[in-house]
Amino acid sequence: MGLLRMVVATFLVAAGVAFPATAAEAPSIKGGGATADMSRFGLAISGGRGHFECLMPALMNVQATVTGAEMIGANAASFEGTATVTLPAGNPLGLPPGKIGPAPFTATAIAGGPGVGQLDLKIMGMDFPGTVEHGQIAIS
């Protein structure tokens, strides 16, 4: 039985050396600008952590802390975290003005400038996709 344990242990050590674990680094997502619907955004995410802001005039202001991010394609990444949402008086959502949060959110970003870059925010059961009209999104 001792010989079997030694053989198994040797095999596991050899397999660990031959096939080292590789953890993919969380992406960095940076940029800012405006989408076609005139929402303004800013991204400062490094190694999967950081900050995201989105201002949708007359609708809401989102101030978010990013707690995780991952690559989902060659030029695309997703990220998530929690946000404070500030609603103005008379917002079209019919909700009372003020702050809501922390509210969980998810988002995806596609790298690029005008007409190419995209940002899709999902928060409070709503989806806000947009294509970059001014500015740039960079993902590395």
For residue 94, give the 3-state DSSP assignment: coil
- Tell me how crowded residue 123 is: count the other CB atoms within 10 A of its CB: 21
Q: CA 52, CA 59: separation in Å to the nearest integer?
A: 17
pLDDT of residue 36: 84
Q: Token match 């095999």: residue?
A: 11
> Which uninterrupted H or E stretch holds 22?
none
Give the pLDDT confidence of 51-105 residue by residue, as tens digits: 999 999 999 999 999 999 999 999 999 999 999 999 999 999 999 999 999 999 9
Domain boundaries, the chain: 23-139
Give the pLDDT confidence of 13-35 residue by residue, as tens digits: 444 444 443 346 899 999 999 99
> Which uninterrupted H or E stretch holds 35?
strand 29-35
